[in-house]
Amino acid sequence: MHLSRDTLNKSLLCLLSILPLGLFTVKGWASGLSFAYAALAILIITSRSLNPKVNEQDAFWIQLLLLMFTLPLFSVMLSSALRGEWIWANFDSASRFFIAAPIFM
């Protein structure tokens, strides 16, 4: 099944537009939609026929953004390893940054 870039972008925009509705009405709505956003964004990024060419300067900033989104998760992993205790609740907020990275790409 091949989806066009326009269809994928409209799907992502539709999900983004309904986010404010659920923020105040349904508990856990934002977390659930974040996974849907990430899945759609990954689909857009990894689709071979939809990838535009990225120049060298933009590639640097993309790598910097990816580093920024992954560092909170790595810092929680490092601090947990140094303490010797792995409390999964500590990974919750840091993993949201990691999951959100494809959305911003």
Q: Which pLDDT belongs to residue 92?
A: 82
Q: Which pLDDT belongs to residue 17?
A: 78
Q: CB of 105 within 8 A of CB of 65?
A: yes
Q: Which residues of the chain have pLDDT under 50?
A: none
CA proximity to 90, closest of 103, 104, 77, 105: 77
Determine the structural domain holding residue 78 and report its residue range. 54-105
Q: Which pLDDT belongs to residue 48?
A: 57
Domain endpoint, select from 52, 67, 86: 52
Report how far apart, in Å, the C-alpha atoms of 66 and of each of 9, 18, 59, 100 are. Answer: 21, 26, 11, 10
pTM: 0.50
Residues 47 and 73 in one domain: no
Number of domains the chain is built from: 2
Residues 14 and 36 in one domain: yes
Q: Which pLDDT belongs to residue 78?
A: 92
d(CA 34, CA 38): 6
